[in-house]
A and B are shown apart, each in its own frame.
Chain A
């Protein structure tokens, strides 16, 4: 009973202050939730939990951020919900994955596009890598492509789903090397795709650099190439696809960051865009991310807007040829 009375008093106070604050100076006044469109424990969920852990600090937002998972169909379920049903009041944030949601919106069948969301800031960039089992006979991308040329359509390799970064990387490889491959999408994300490589169900796979790095450390896989413009600090010995003679850019690199639904008041977007990147720069966040083998890449709202637009163009071109 006492709790309830206290709760009632608290509720009334919130109500009163809410009514008097005309602008959005006092935002945020209550805890914020952030939707992640992948399951708990996945790479996106794991990183989202780390980068938001300091949100409650006074120099950040001053209010904690709680993670809500809405997994399903390669992220479509969560982003559909975010575009159509989430409240555009600044208290509902979402995590984005590029190129996933842009590729899905180009392919169709979903209710969102790059115009449905307003980016706030980017926290990470996770390139796709090509992995094979530790005892595989392939030792370079040339071996893989040679096998695919000799056996068209018979080189099975796994990835996290259709029209996600891994699939984009696979499409680029097929196009540049001029081969036909058998891409097997997993319904369990990167972890499921990695399992089928380690268990030998498929000959190879495209996977996240962060997950592949751990699997290589554990001695389960070999990493043959990075789908990025430069070598990665976590894997200085692994050459990029470009170095191995395949002209592939960074279109498949998985950028992760925070966004809000379209229609969120501009002052709130500005406030978030100013605070969130500094929140990502916190040294505790950087330490935990590095410990977990997750590459960070902080970008501000303007940089992300430019990146979204550029990515949309490349993807339209790539997917048009399908």
Chain B
């Protein structure tokens, strides 16, 4: 209960002001396509030079929590995930927005985020020593199986064909191998100088999601103004709270999956939302509604995203090992003030550590309040005319993908992937599995190579990858996931396209 003693520090005028600044700024940056949480936090580091250690960390912690949640805004309204973590949110969230329920989707996502986030931070407060051991239990062989588990999720992710889902995933896995091989340093598939540094995930994410949206808006042509404007249904916040708690299955699956996966160094954040989405789909009696604007999808994905924030800091705060790129940047923010994270951090600098953690707790709640306020305004985005929207999204995509590395090559890659994706989507391929392949490919490959090197030096590859309780558990889950996808394909109750699925769903209800 030690953390309660430091709650007062969060509410000093300067600290609370920084907390507000970080939260609001984070929401805006998170909602801008191309600005991932890692970038937002890295951009803020110079500002913390001049602040006290605790103040700097409050700013960084608040920005981290609210950029993760802010990414949902563009995911829902524009179908452009602000960061890889928000991919799952697009699947149901954007469909809801298309039906005029943008305000409802945003409210659900912010409430679910806050509940997941508070749970994650509470885990960080009470279970840190236990969790630290769990985070270290994952060696190369386990991370490899975990990445494979992520790949198998691909097949059942979108409500189109399993084969095409897996094929999209394969394209993503191949795109990930372009550039320098991360371990050997060999050059692979470099057919144009723009890809000599490999395909960066953020520009690819922008291209694959934003450009097909832009082209789809073009396809509607010069239609008259009144025919196109979507009505935005007002949605009382009270109802949103009631709905989140009514969907307690999705909420608890999302929160738990997010916290558990968030712990695992190197994999967590990016796939937590997708795995949670997939799990709650498989366990829901209304699984056929997923992908058609079903509220469970949004709740599961967003609660998982924010639940991961707290646990993802466990390896950093206890072992000084940054488990995610964002945690690595936060480590820099600590070191600049001469604070070394480690098991004795809470003994040596309790005022800094606890104030930081408390501010994340309060930050989650502030984020929810501002988010709900923004939801009402932001949902009006759906009323922006097509032509203006297409031009704005294109402009943002160009600037956003350039700003990641100040690289023109990234912009070329973004546009090429996006244009290609539009045509692929017309033939039943989808962007979400492709991006997932792009993210998981390097994780699977690097851990496979490292694992084999260790295995060759000590025992055998078979023994290293296929024995031990954790390996066997993961393999069982992988096999179950594949079996489920095959069963779904055979049962063949899939719809021809997402549009048809949505129409059918509307006809029933």
User: Chain A residues near B329 (CB, 8 Å)?
Assistant: 40-41
Contact B328 A40 (CB under 8 A): yes
User: Chain A residues near B369 (CB, 8 Å)?
Assistant: none
Contact B446 A42 (CB under 8 A): no
Interface residues of B in 82-140 (CB under 8 A from A): 136-137, 139-140
User: Chain A residues near B185 (CB, 8 Å)?
Assistant: 73-74, 76, 104, 107, 109-110, 161-163
Which residues of B does A touch, CB under 8 Å? Answer: 38-39, 42, 45-46, 49, 136-137, 139-140, 179-187, 193, 196-198, 265-266, 315, 319-322, 325, 327-332, 335-338, 340-344, 405-407, 409, 442, 446, 450, 453-454, 456-458
Contact A162 B184 (CB under 8 A): yes
Q: How many A residues, CB 8 Å from partner?
A: 61
Contact A41 B328 (CB under 8 A): yes
Interface flags for A117-142 (1: CB within 8 Å of B; 0: not) read: 00000000000000000000000000
User: Which among A77, A182, A214 is the interface contact of B180 at CB below 8 angstroms?
Assistant: A77
Q: CA separation between A42 and B182, bound complex, in Å? A: 16
User: Which among A49, A187, A194 is the interface contact of B183 at CB below 8 angstroms?
Assistant: A187
User: Chain B residues near A290 (CB, 8 Å)?
Assistant: 338
Contact A46 B340 (CB under 8 A): no
Contact B136 A198 (CB under 8 A): yes
User: Which among A41, A84, A104, A156 is the interface contact of B331 at CB below 8 angstroms?
Assistant: A41
Contact B320 A218 (CB under 8 A): yes
User: Is A202 interfacial (CB 8 A cutoff)?
Assistant: yes
User: A73-B185, A201-B139, A217-B340 are known contacts; what are 18 more A-B pairs with Cβ within 8 Å?
Assistant: A40-B332, A41-B327, A41-B328, A50-B336, A69-B405, A73-B179, A74-B185, A77-B196, A154-B457, A161-B185, A184-B457, A194-B321, A201-B140, A218-B342, A218-B343, A220-B320, A220-B343, A293-B335
Q: Give the shortest distance, in Å, between B460 (CB) and chain A (any CB).
A: 13
Nearest A residue to B459, CB-CB = A154
User: Chain B residues near A70 (CB, 8 Å)?
Assistant: 197, 405, 407
Nearest A residue to B185, CB-CB = A73
User: Is A186 interfacial (CB 8 A cutoff)?
Assistant: yes
User: Which among A40, A163, A201, A292 is the interface contact of B335 at CB below 8 angstroms?
Assistant: A292
User: Is A81 interfacial (CB 8 A cutoff)?
Assistant: yes
User: Which among A81, A187, A194 is the interface contact of B446 at CB below 8 angstroms?
Assistant: A187
Nearest B residue to A45, CB-CB = B332
User: Chain A residues near B446 (CB, 8 Å)?
Assistant: 187-188
Contact A49 B45 (CB under 8 A): yes
User: Chain A residues near B181 (CB, 8 Å)?
Assistant: 73
User: Chain A residues near B341 (CB, 8 Å)?
Assistant: 218
Q: Give the shortest distance, in Å, between A132 (CB) and chain B (any CB).
A: 16
Q: CA separation between A196 and B453, bound complex, in Å? A: 13
